[in-house]
Amino acid sequence: MAKFKKKRGKASPEVSTASLPDIIFMLLFFFMVTTVLRDAEKKVVVSVPKASELTKLEQKSLVHHIYVGKPTERYQSLYGTKPRMQLGDKIANSMGEIPLFIEKHKVKLSEAQHNRITSSLRVDGEVTMGIIQDVKTALRKANQLRVNYSAKPVEE
């Protein structure tokens, strides 16, 4: 008589892990390229006022922020406690630095986008209007006419 062998369930072949490091590095590279990091450290304290009628800005790349407020505790020994203006990541000494700040932003963009650049003012609620008027005058002299005031939505 012939011997009959029991058929055992065939084991499926193991999944190859040779390409796993390639996939991990591709994902890592993708997230490194697409992640946007904060470009400016806040050196002034800004608590923006609340408003009911808000619109969201379309393209964040066309916006540069001007912060106005009292320096944080870390920088008060260097800049004092009076309200100061922060352009990008440095505190400005005078309103005359605004045109250079705007030009540095324009260099990064194409010529067609220059007229769509928006200056976003993030101003502390305790700052007097005299400083804001000076900032607006400096923006007007630099031919920057698109100005946005940042605010938080009113909670109902």
Give the residue among 45, 47, 68, 43 at the shortest CA–CA distance from 119.
Answer: 68
Residue 48 lies in a domain: yes
Residue 37 lies in a domain: no
Residue 19 lies in a domain: no
Q: What is the CA radius of gyration of the chain?
A: 27
Residue 145 lies in a domain: yes
pLDDT at 39: 64
pLDDT at 27: 93
Residue 147 lies in a domain: yes
Residue 34 lies in a domain: no
pLDDT at 24: 93
pLDDT at 14: 80
Helix residue ranges per DSSP H, 61-144? 76-79, 98-107, 129-141
Both tokens assigned to 138:
């400096």
**Residue in the block written with tokens 């705007």:** 102
Residue 15 lies in a domain: no
Q: Is 151 exposed, middle or buried (0-12, 13-18, 19+ CB in 10 A)?
A: middle
Assign residue 89 the CATH number of its domain. Answer: 3.30.420.270
Chunked in runs of 10, what are the mean pLDDT values of the chain (156 residues)?
66 80 92 77 84 83 90 90 90 91 90 89 90 93 90 82
How many domains is the chain partitioned into structurally? Answer: 1
- Residue 50 is part of which domain span? 44-153
Residue 22 lies in a domain: no
